[in-house]
Structure 1
């Protein structure tokens, strides 16, 4: 437990000494309470953690909130936004070499304007030299600009001359096409082996219908792409309708007016894959594919409360793709037969009801036994909690006396959580909740700490900060190698 966010330190109760992490320039020296000054200096040199700035240009270098590292950890992929909300105004995707700091442009739109098409929020495949990112519709204009129902997943093969193809098919002309979507997707996340890609979705057909029909709403939901099952759209191909390299399925049932006090949800979002290969049910049976997500319920008192849900996906999902329909002007495409949606948390009556805190995406332990999320404790402090995919008790992971204010990231081995608060970075050991502040705000010229990512195999963090340059500030990318520190003290 960190006893104060105002000083840089951690009381290790189990070993009975105080570790102070002192900021000196860009290097954090780790000092123990030894009486021998020479030993103290030697340990300090051994465990020094150096923050490395990788980018310096006068433009944004914006990481995704997950899967920013290449499979081998040698590259980070990013877009050139300098504001989280400006995907529609950004036209390029780049890579930076973690060792050499060399930057390469992987994708660039020649017709980019303030209204679109727009690109951003790019994720690396966990096994291949491939990325996927948000792409606005090619026919974007001042009259029909980039928007949440006017975007799709673009797939980029970095081993094939950066060949770009739509991952999803789009068809907004009735009769609609099975496996194609009718709106806009974002927040892509590859499953552990890359056989699925999750997404969050808004439907353009329902959004348009809602303009004249008050009974219809465009309800945000979640789903997944099944790569390798190409979808061909009938009829004319144009800026609105096109083929895609994956079959799209929705995985959450959402309703316009959920029954108060029920498990019905009006919105599904901020999802994650459960485990590297699913999780184990109480019966001992393996559930090999599952997606956890946040869902907005209506409490018995009529309040909107966010809870954690899960969709168990049948192992033979490929054989069930034909069970879906393509949707209508008043209905979303259907969820495949056999997908089972369950509510995992029941915290609507807490003093601080439901999932709360900064914008967050759920994370799962590699074994699938735990799903992590932010929630406020009884003192109103935002902490990380966990719940089993089988439901049951909600367990606290952190017991800090400060609230985290960034999204959090889980190391690839599931042992450590990293997150930020007041521009400082903290790491918590999942096993026992021991928390260490590993980086204070380096200086007053850096702000907007965000997008903390663990590397796929090393104890290395990458993250964004805005760095002042003259009268402007730009998102830059930084890394921290925590291997030595983790080996010795976490």
Structure 2
């Protein structure tokens, strides 16, 4: 019997809350002076031996961060994977790294190489760079960026962000902001394998790409009240298993009173259909558009919508349910479950506290982890049992970001500030869930 099972022998309504700090082992994994910020998903290598991180010591400082590294979960050995050239406070900057679920390949945000005081790192000036872990420093441009009209099909001309591998590692979703047209209108896009490298003209701000990129969400600046139109698409996840390419994402829409609320939308991804519409790249003065035949659908229809606390949607392994955060009548963030087949959204928690972080679901789909009151928790979806895994007070050094399950679901990694002499650094801590 694993430790979590032994901790959950006592229950009471409405939720079982247990604490088994004498059994759950929390390990301080990283020790070196400097930041060790983990991404919100897929930070463990396919074999669960390594965790990837970036060198941020402040979540908002990607533009000032120069390094991507990884740490061995058993030995604590740290290895440098990538370091920017000529890094300044203006860029280029790197961060938000994640492992492919199938290969020892790491993908992360990279700011433009020509970043300077006039045009610094920005949400519209970045792309995805990949590294094979056995070939450090040899960056691979994933999405092509082309700012020279006429634009090459499969390229973009803004910034991709928060990249997320599909469950089988074939496709990559991302959020995107265009540099030249409506840069504040965030959309969701996808990278699909290209038949050949996307080659663009040599120019400042341009780079070739090994994937074919497209935008897959329609947004408008002023959604009609009571319609399904959205002004922002963001913070998505993949649904289903191998060969099932559907993205669930959050969309800001207007209710019949004109109030902005966030609902759940889905879009099916057909790589062949995307490749066929070369004109979707758009022309000068236009944003890239959604390829013909790709259409988003509204999934949830609620009164209040989802929480305004930034978080990413999470899906059950079979794609039947989407999980998110929404506020209860007291304004506290609770867990909600949306049934994909019906769009019905149900509150599945009634905690007497408010969740303060994004959420993650285990690979088996049986539990969700999050942070509240400066502690890491696990919530069991079937039994509705809750477990507190750490023993911090609200005055202890802060836990930041979101806890992440290992691929075998036997560990949870999280970030917390740790004091060293006169400084505080974001370090990676590891919770071992089994003997």
Shared fold, TM over 0.5: yes
Does the 8 A contact of 1:168 with 1:181 survive in 2?
yes
Does 2:247 align with 1:308? no
User: Of 315, 326, 329, which aligns to 2:284?
Assistant: 329
Does 2:416 align with 1:451? no
Change in Cα spacing, 1:186 to 1:230, as seen in structure 2 (3 Å) is farther
Does the 8 A contact of 1:10 with 1:435 survive in 2?
no
Does 2:6 align with 1:12? no
Measure how far apart 1:10 and its partner are.
9.3
Does 2:19 align with 1:21? yes
Aligned equivalent of 2:124 = 149
Does the 8 A contact of 2:16 with 2:386 survive in 1?
no
Aligned equivalent of 2:62 = 87
Does 2:377 align with 1:426? yes
1:291-314: per-residue Cα shift (whole Å, max 9, x none)? 000000012212111111111223
User: Of 77, 97, 115, which aligns to 1:102?
Assistant: 77
CA distance in 2, matches of 1:267, 1:161: 36
Measure how far apart 1:234 and its partner are.
4.2
User: Of 364, 380, 397, which aligns to 2:348?
Assistant: 397
CA distance in 1, matches of 2:317, 2:248: 13
User: Of 336, 340, 343, which aligns to 2:298?
Assistant: 343
CA distance in 2, matches of 1:230, 1:243: 11
Structure 1 or 2, whichever has the larger Rg, is 1
CA distance in 2, matches of 1:12, 1:222: 41
Which portions of structure 1, spanning 4 or more consecutive aligned residues, are displaced by more than 6 angstroms? 16-19
SS in 2 for 1:321: helix
Change in Cα spacing, 1:324 to 1:262, as seen in structure 2 (3 Å) is farther
Does 2:153 align with 1:178? yes
Change in Cα spacing, 1:335 to 1:357, as seen in structure 2 (3 Å) is closer
TM-score (norm: length of structure 1): 0.83
Does 2:227 align with 1:262? yes
CA distance in 2, matches of 1:475, 1:151: 24
* Structure 2 gap segments, 5+ residues each: 1-6
Measure how far apart 1:219 and its partner are.
1.2
* Structure 1 gap segments, 5+ residues each: 1-7, 23-27, 30-47, 208-216, 279-287, 485-490
1:30-79: per-residue Cα shift (whole Å, max 9, x none)? xxxxxxxxxxxxxxxxxx11110011222110000111111111100000
CA distance in 1, matches of 2:95, 2:363: 24
TM-score (norm: length of structure 2): 0.93
Aligned equivalent of 1:220 = 186
Does the 8 A contact of 1:370 with 1:386 survive in 2?
yes
Aligned equivalent of 1:129 = 104
Does the 8 A contact of 1:179 with 1:248 survive in 2?
yes
CA distance in 2, matches of 1:13, 1:462: 28
Moved more, 426-435 or 76-85: 426-435
For this pair of structures, how many residues does the alignment match? 428
CA distance in 1, matches of 2:393, 2:77: 24
Aligned equivalent of 2:337 = 386
